[in-house]
Each structure stands twice: as structure tokens, then as C-alpha cells.
Structure 1
Amino acid sequence: MAGLDIAGYARSRSTVLPESRRGASRMSPYIRHGLLSLREVWDRVEDAAGRDRSRYRDELMWQEYARHLYARVGTDLGQSLTREQPFASGGDVRADDPWPTEMNCMSSVTTELHDDGWLVNQTRMWLASQWAVRAGATWRDGEDEMFAHLLDGSRAANRLGWQWTVGTGSGKVYGFSRWQVEKRAPALCRGCALASACPIQDWPSAELGPSVDGPDLTTADIPAGPAEASGSAAEQVWLTAESLGTSDPALSADESRPAVFVFDEPLLRRLSLSGKRLVFLAETLGELGAIRDLEVRRGVVSEELAGRSLAATYAPVPGWARIARTLEPVEVHPWPWLVRPGRSSVRSFSAWRRGHSDPLPSTA
């Protein structure tokens, strides 16, 4: 956070190469796991230049919108929201190899995904469009593959990003082509063996798919959790992967209270996350354990924590609600929303954004 500088962000956030000119802040892994709240980052850029601050805060609001949408539809975010996936035809179809390594742009970006576990937003869109729109592979499989490697991987933001890009949750398809690569990373085209026979020279042929009867995205209540802490005198704090920072509301409510985190073994077995993600979580827990009394376990969460007197911070994800019903925490703290959900539509970000004014100034 101390090194966060968004000078030039509006101009360079989509730059891919050279890396030294990238404007992306790389704060997303810390935001995703609650090491930093959206509010903390929002306040941090208060003194930035107007256009940079506005553009950056719009991205923070996009993250908040993703959480509102996920809180509303839950696991249905894994289904096409408004339209079926568009499928390319003719020469575009290559579902057996959706990220061809002979394409320098694909080889470079997938290497960065696998090695670093982080990508700028522009290249995330390249991968999603190449996988689903051009190659015709199922978008859910591509989202799973990206999710497994991203340090900031969240079902809310990652699934929303894929649905927006491939057109299953938006009104248009993002057409990945050579034009984007030459604009954002021209060195990739210059060094590509397919430079004179580029398979993405022109726009993809796919158009919007047919409408689907997806989840209700119109105006309705969005689950938000408690507005104030309820209960008291819990003996331990149950930490989740959604909120691992020292400012976690349940953790910060009593600095002397020990905490416990459980690696959810059945969930991890199903997700097959990359080693990078697990190391990131382990290092985060190690740093926390150096300053707080922390117990780390592995197994079935409800079994590992059965019978304990627990305080917890509400999390707007389906898994938290499911496990909390079994554990029955005696003390529940509110989630640190940037904009507390109410009754609204989640059909589109632009409409949602117009309906939500910027957060009130922090009272911290």
C-alpha cells in the first residue's frame, strides 16, 4: 500500500509491454484476500490526479459490483447470465487447443499466468476471447483454468470478467485480434513466428449468442450480511480466505483473541489450485502468525472447528453461508463493503454504477 502510485493510470492501465510502462497497480491479490479493503485503497488514492483517481476508483467499484452480483446470484454466476456462448465458425474453431503456444501473444501471456499468477486486465480479456470466442472452447472451462492460477482468483471477479468478455453476460462480444496486440504489446507481433500468417489478423466471426433464461438480475434485494456486529465473547476468530488481513473486523475487535484458519481440503481437491496460490496463502498466514496467535489446520472446515466458540466476519460468498450454518458463530461482524448492498438491479455495471453514488467519506 505504501508504494501505491497511480500517476498515469488512466493512460497506461491497459499497457501490456514493456512491463516498465504498465500502469496496473497489482493490488488485486491483496484486495481479493482481504489484506486490504476496497475502502482502504479508495481512500489511499484521494490525492491522485483527477482522471487517474476517477478511472482507478471505477475499477474498485467494478470489484464491488462483482461482489454484489455474486452475493445475489451465487453459484449461478457459473452459468451464462443473459446469452448463450457465441461460437465461431470455419477457420476460427480450435477448441482442442484454445491457447495455441505457436502464437507469441498466447505463449507469452499463458507463461506469465503460470509463472507469476497475475495478469493485467487487457491480457485476461485476450485469453478469454481467444478461448471462447475464437477457439470455441467452453468458457467455464477456460475460467476454471485461469482461476486455478490467479493469485487474485475469485469466482465473483473472474467469472464476471469472462462473461463480460465473451458476451454471455453483456450486450457485445469482445473480439480479440492482432490489432489489440499491436496496440498494447507490439513486440509480441514482431517476434512471432506467425507474423506473416497471423491467425487473428481479422476480427473473429462469432456474434452474440441467443438469449437464455438465466438468474433474475432485475431490481431485488442483495444479501449484505449484518450491518453491525452481533453477539460477543467468542473465544477464537475464524478466518477465511476472503478476509486474512489484520483489519478483518472480527480479528481487530479483540487483538488478544487467537485466530484459526482451515485449509478446506475437499474444496482444494476439487479446485486443483496451482502451487503459487497455495504458497501465497501460506505466506500470508505466516506473516499473520508472526504477530498474532494463529492456528492453521487442514481438513473439512465444519469438522475441524466443530464445538468451538467462534467470532467471524461475514463474507459475501456461498461457501461462507453454508459453513456458518453448521458452525453457528456466536459473534458475527459485518463485511467491509465499499457500498453496502440494498435493493437494486445487477443487470449491468454501468446501470449499477449510476445507481450507486461514491462511498461516503471514511469515518476511520
Structure 2
Amino acid sequence: MPTLPPSLRDVPPAELFPEVFARDPHHVGWTRGGRARALELLAQLDPVTYGRDRSRLDGHVSRLSAFLRHGVLSLAEVRDAALTHAPVTAPSRVYKYINELSWRDFFVRVYAEVGDKVWQDFQPYKTGIAAADYASEFPTDIDRAGTGLTCIDSWSRELRETGYLHNHVRMWLAAYIIHHRRVRWQAGASWFITHLLDGDPAANNLNWQWVASTWRRGPYIWNRATLVKNAGERYCASCPLASGGCPFDATYSDLSTRLFPSRYPAPGETGVLPPRMLEAVPWEAPPPPEPLPGAVVWVHGDRLSPTNEALLAYPERPAVFVWDDELLRTWAVSAKRQSFIHDCVAELPVHVLRGVVAEEVARFARAHRAKVIATTPSPSPRFAQIVEALREAGFTVQLWPEPVFGASVTPLDLRVHAAYWGQVRANAFGKPPAPPKEKPLVKVSSPGDKKPSKRKPKKLDAEPLFKLGEGD
């Protein structure tokens, strides 16, 4: 039988990844990882106040997104905690927070359907600019906080030093990179994934596509007035361009005219997402499997919690976590991100290895004479490849699902969040799943019957429609 090397569970991450810690001077982000820390923050949750002031940079946000992204907390348990802050008869008091949680569930479901297409343009840029005219290399001056714009440079430093950015800041920074500097969104998304403690291809990439307009009707932009409204004068007061030359000091209309030749795709531009691909995604609550004798547990980076369903199903059986060397290199994961993951793993009853995940999990299983490997699902195509490799090696792989955030009685429409939300909203608030409400029929009238509208036209992208951080 194969022998196992000693567990790396208690080896400091700086010793495991010395080259990463040498290039990234910020070894610890804004918080430590782990379930204990997650529960501290969950106890401080104030979803009612969140609904009122979340848009301000000094407003109440939960800062739970890194723990949700790594499965230290589940969406369902955070939702349940939020509901305790509102009477059963008045769930609307926490509506906005639960609605924001639903974005995470939505993005994960889309990612599960599109796989690696998440790194490609779903649709063409609606900017009149061809994709080839956006730079593919990330600008050094942005990475090193050397643009001369106080707001941009401050956000760059905060990202690299802490691994966190407020949701508005993520959108503002993304819009500057894509639209003012004409850099492809994939370069910015990769930069975020390297440094953000909550970075992943689901929420991160899909929101960058939203800002870019490759998954939206038009590009997202912001101006100085919006910055001051939500951040005060903290940046403008010390910016050398505040009195002249600020690229954001304009109306939305003027910014749009300056930045975009049109609000339509450039001739010949296409995307990779078929129009109807996400229209009717089959869904039903996955049933948990039956425990089998002699199984081992594989814990991966999407469910780093002592409440991991596979761990709970097999509390007496050996468990393993594998540092995925190839993925860490591909994503250039920062030292602070590795420290966060290490903190999470340190709370788990696992034997820690590193290398090629499928090979190491198989070696661990053989060392324990196991033919069954129990784990939890992940939307990642890489996860699917690992599972397939284990099955081809002769193992039975069990998937133990986490609690459902929102069930639906119909196939899911994942083309836009609003359609998905209409299908799962009832269950997300603890009620039995219900079909979406049908829209009332519109009365058809002749042109002569129509009265002039007194509604003011909407300001162009004056307020963001959703956020770049999930659950914040």
C-alpha cells in the first residue's frame, strides 16, 4: 500500500510557499480565516442597517464574502441569521441583504453552466470598440498605485495590502480599468482574483463582464459626483487633479460621449454565449447520498468548514485537503489569500498534502484502503475534471450537497438575475417554493389614447444595479 508523507497542516504557509511570500510583502489580509472568525462576524451582522447605508464606503457591510466564497459559511445559514433580525410578519426589513446573497447563488449557478466560458466575452462590448482594441496586459501604474489619481491609487493599495474592497470601489476601479484605460476585463479580473480574499471566477468574472458590457445592455460608468456622494471628499481633498484634469469630473452623458464611439457593438463583434443557453436550466434539490463503509473525505477550497457535509457524514473517517499547486500558480494567488485559506484548513480534521489534486487524493484513499471518496460539490470545471479522474481510477465519488439557498419549482432562467430571483425568492425567505408571478396583461390601445409620460428619463447608469462582492 502507498505511504503518505507527513501532513502539512501545521506548516506555516510562508514555509510552504516561500516564493509567493517573497514577492508579496502583505502576508496577512484584513482578516484571519476560519470558522471561528466567520461566526464572530456573523454575530455582528445588521441586515436592517445594511439595507439603508450599504452604498456608502463607511456604511454597514457584513464582510462575509470571503467566508462565503470558501464555504466556511453557507448561503443558507447566513440567510437564516439575517432572517432572525426581522419579524416573521415583516421579512422586508432584511429584503435587500437576502437579495444580495442571492447574487452569489445566481453567479455560482451560471458558472456551473458555462464553465470556462466565464473567462470569455459572453457578448460583444456595447461600446463601439472592438475587443482587439482593448489591451490584454494589465497596466503597471495601476498595479503599483502610480496613476496620480488619488482615488485609483488608494484603491490599488487597499486591494494589494488587505485583500478587500467595498463593492462600490470594485465597480469604480473596474470601470476605470476597462473604459478609461481600455484594458480587457479579463486582465482586471485576474488581478482581483490574485489579491481578493473572496476572488473566484463566478462572482468576480461575471461582474467584470457586467461592468464591461459583455453581459449587460451597456457599459457601467461613474462620475465624481457619485464618488463624493458615497465616499465624501476623502479622495478629492488630497488629489492633485481635483481642481482641474479629473477624468471623472463630468456628467454621465459627457463621459459616455468621451469614452464610447457608440453604445452598440463594433461591426463584426460576437460573444461566446448562445442567447438561449441559460434560459431553462433544469434544477431540483440534490438528495444526499447514503453513507458507505470505508470511505475517506476530500475537502476542497469551496467548502472549508467544520460543517462540511462530507465531514459530518463520516465523522470518524480520515479526511484530506490538497494544496492545488497548478491552480495557485495559474491564479498567482497572493500570500494573504494563502494565509486566509491556511487559517481555514487549520480548523479542520484533515491530513494536508500538496501537488496534483487527483493524484494526491487517490494516494490518500489507497493508503486507507478506501474505494469511496466523499466530498462536496463545486461549480468549477477543474473540480469536474478531478472527479472524473478519480472515477476513472476506480473510485466511487460521493457528492454531499450543502443546504439549498433557494429552491425553484420550474427550470431556472439564468439569463438575468431578476428572472432567477422571481423563481427562488419565496423559498429564499423560508417559504415553500412557488412559481414566479405572471406579469399582468398590458392593455392595447391606439396611439391616440396614449397620454404623454410625465416620468423623468433615467440618469445614465447613475446608480449601479448590482455589486462586485457577493454578500457584502
**TM-score above 0.5, yes or no:** yes
Whether the 8 Å contact between 1:71 and 1:317 is mirrored in structure 2 is yes
Please say if 1:273 is aligned against 2:333.
yes
Deviates more, 1:22-31 or 1:334-343: 334-343
Which residue in 2 is equivalent to 1:297?
Answer: 353
Which residue in 2 is equivalent to 1:249?
Answer: 309
Deviates more, 1:315-324 or 1:327-336: 327-336
Whether the 8 Å contact between 1:72 and 1:223 is mirrored in structure 2 is no
Which residue in 2 is equivalent to 1:199?
Answer: 247
Q: How does 1:133-148 map to 2 (within 5 A)?
A: 133-148=179-194
Aligned partners of 2:52, 2:237: CA distance in 1, in Å? 23
Q: Which of 133, 140, 153 is equivalent to 1:107?
A: 153
Whether the 8 Å contact between 1:261 and 1:295 is mirrored in structure 2 is yes
Deviations 1:128-162 (A, max 9, x none): 10011121011100110011111011110001111
Aligned partners of 2:141, 2:126: CA distance in 1, in Å? 15
Aligned partners of 1:11, 1:344: CA distance in 2, in Å? 30
Deviations 1:58-113 (A, max 9, x none): 11111110011101111111111122363779xxx998467353111111111111
Q: Which of 82, 86, 96 is equivalent to 1:45?
A: 82
Q: With structure 1 as the length reference, what TM-score do the two structures score?
A: 0.89
SS at match of 2:122: coil
Query: How far is the alpha carbon of 1:191 from its aligned partner?
Result: 1.6
Aligned partners of 1:279, 1:171: CA distance in 2, in Å? 39
Structure 2 unaligned spans of 5+: 1-41, 433-472
Deviations 1:305-333 (A, max 9, x none): 22513211122221111101111344321
Whether the 8 Å contact between 1:230 and 1:332 is mirrored in structure 2 is no
Please say if 1:232 is aligned against 2:329.
no
Whether the 8 Å contact between 2:172 and 2:222 is mirrored in structure 1 is yes
Query: How far is the alpha carbon of 1:200 from its aligned partner?
Result: 1.7
1:276–1:161 CA distance, 2 compared to 1 (3 A): same
SS at match of 2:198: coil
Deviates more, 1:303-312 or 1:314-323: 303-312
Please say if 1:316 is aligned against 2:383.
no
Deviations 1:190-225 (A, max 9, x none): 121110121221224225452624223342335779
Please say if 1:334 is aligned against 2:425.
no
- Matched pairs, number: 352
Whether the 8 Å contact between 2:46 and 2:60 is mirrored in structure 1 is no
Aligned partners of 2:228, 2:294: CA distance in 1, in Å? 57
Aligned partners of 2:399, 2:103: CA distance in 1, in Å? 26
Query: How far is the alpha carbon of 1:280 from its aligned partner?
Result: 0.3
1:106–1:52 CA distance, 2 compared to 1 (3 A): farther
SS at match of 1:260: strand
Q: Which of 131, 135, 152 is equivalent to 2:177?
A: 131
Q: Which amino acid aligns with 2:403?
A: P
Query: How far is the alpha carbon of 1:250 from its aligned partner?
Result: 0.5
Aligned partners of 1:51, 1:149: CA distance in 2, in Å? 35
Query: How far is the alpha carbon of 1:334 from its aligned partner?
Result: 2.0
SS at match of 1:337: coil
Q: Which amino acid aligns with 2:405?
A: L
1:249–1:335 CA distance, 2 compared to 1 (3 A): same
SS at match of 1:221: coil
Query: How far is the alpha carbon of 1:182 from its aligned partner?
Result: 1.0
Which residue in 2 is equivalent to 1:215?
Answer: 273
Please say if 1:55 is aligned against 2:96.
yes
Aligned partners of 1:313, 1:96: CA distance in 2, in Å? 38
Whether the 8 Å contact between 1:66 and 1:157 is mirrored in structure 2 is yes
Deviates more, 1:270-279 or 1:233-242: 233-242
> Which structure has the higher relative contact order (CA within 8 Å, separation 6+)?
2
Q: Which amino acid aligns with 2:400?
A: H
Query: How far is the alpha carbon of 1:302 from its aligned partner?
Result: 1.2
Divergent runs of 4+, >6 A: none
Computing the radius of gyration from Cα coordinates, the structure with the larger value is 2
Aligned partners of 2:228, 2:217: CA distance in 1, in Å? 26
SS at match of 2:347: helix
RMSD value over aligned CA atoms? 2.5
Whether the 8 Å contact between 2:126 and 2:214 is mirrored in structure 1 is yes
Q: With structure 2 as the length reference, what TM-score do the two structures score?
A: 0.69
Query: How far is the alpha carbon of 1:253 from its aligned partner?
Result: 1.2
